[in-house]
Amino acid sequence: MSAEAAKRYRVKPGKKFDLDDIDPGETELASKNAATEQNAKMQGRLADLQELLYAEHKHKILIVLQGMDTSGKDGTVRHVMGGFNPAGVHVVSFKKPTQVELDHGYLWRVHAQVPASGDIVVFNRSHYEDVLIVRVHSLVPKDVWSKRYDQINDFERMLSETGTTVLKFFLHISKEEQRKRLEERVQDPAKRWKFQHTDIEERKLWDDYVKAYEVALEKTSTNWAPWYIVPANTKWYRNYVVGSIICQAMEKLKMRYPEPDLSNEKKIK
């Protein structure tokens, strides 16, 4: 399924589209039972591929997760990347920039977090906030944020050309699904801590965020750093699609365990 998912959900460079025309509830490529079984197998395969990545110490993987509030970024990390060895994976969540970060270029703090050789880094929100929330809330002038699409493309091209595989996932949920999930947060004591009043205020800007995402996905899905629009209303399907695409991308690297130099070693007795 991985190749089919990658082809089906990948955003073609420069392609104009309307997110409202893409069904966030789609589950056409798998049944729940099949996906659940495959996800269990995929955890093991991803763990093996990560060990190869770490041992070969040649490639780097950057996974970018973006989406509306409640779209499932944390859940994706838990259920798709949960089998990774913590020694070789790092999850970064970019918050409101500090004054020191603001005194530098907006990509300064991002570049400091990209993966080293043999590592996987997951951005739970990312540098794309600088063309999303910044645009929606008019935090900088249009003539500033509008230049950032090309700057981001150049940044990601540099990462790609220096050995980083960049995979970007937009977790696509409906406005109604977001409402249900926000209500769950309020009603469930185990999730209530996640709820903030700003969630309601941001929800009022749904249409503005949709437009900002449409432009960002169109302008920054490239051959070297593609975007995938993942139907995310159904959590098991979201995990199935994201995991499959990551697995396929890592298998394409054709990694091999390095041969140790045993020329100066004594025989093991």
Q: Can you say how many angstroms the Cα of residue 59 is from the centroid of all Cα atoms in its chain?
A: 18
Q: Are 132 and 217 in contact, with CB atoms under 8 Å apart?
A: no
Q: Can you say how many angstroms the Cα of residue 185 is from the centroid of all Cα atoms in its chain?
A: 23
- pLDDT confidence bin for 182, thresholds 50/70/90: very high
Residue 257 falls inside a structural domain: no
For residue 175, how many other CB atoms are within 10 A of its CB? Answer: 13
Q: Are 67 and 73 in contact, with CB atoms under 8 Å apart?
A: yes
pLDDT tens column, 164-177: 999 999 999 999 99
Average pLDDT of span 210-221: 97
Residue 126 falls inside a structural domain: yes
Residue 31 falls inside a structural domain: yes
> In the numeric block, which tokens belong to residue 65?
């997760």
> What sign does the CA torsion over 182, 185, 191, 195 have?
positive
What pLDDT is attached to residue 158?
98
Residue 15 falls inside a structural domain: yes
Into how many domains does the chain fold? Answer: 1
pLDDT tens column, 128-162: 999 999 999 999 999 999 999 999 999 999 999 99
> In the numeric block, which tokens belong to residue 35?
């996906």
**The domain that contains 18 carries what CATH number?**
3.40.50.300
Residues 6+ apart with CB under 8 A from 2: 244, 245, 247, 248
Residue 118 falls inside a structural domain: yes
Residue 264 falls inside a structural domain: no
Structural domain range at position 187: 2-251
pLDDT tens column, 15-62: 888 999 999 999 988 899 999 898 889 989 999 999 999 999 999 999
pLDDT at 190 over 90: no
Residue 213 falls inside a structural domain: yes
Residue 51 falls inside a structural domain: yes
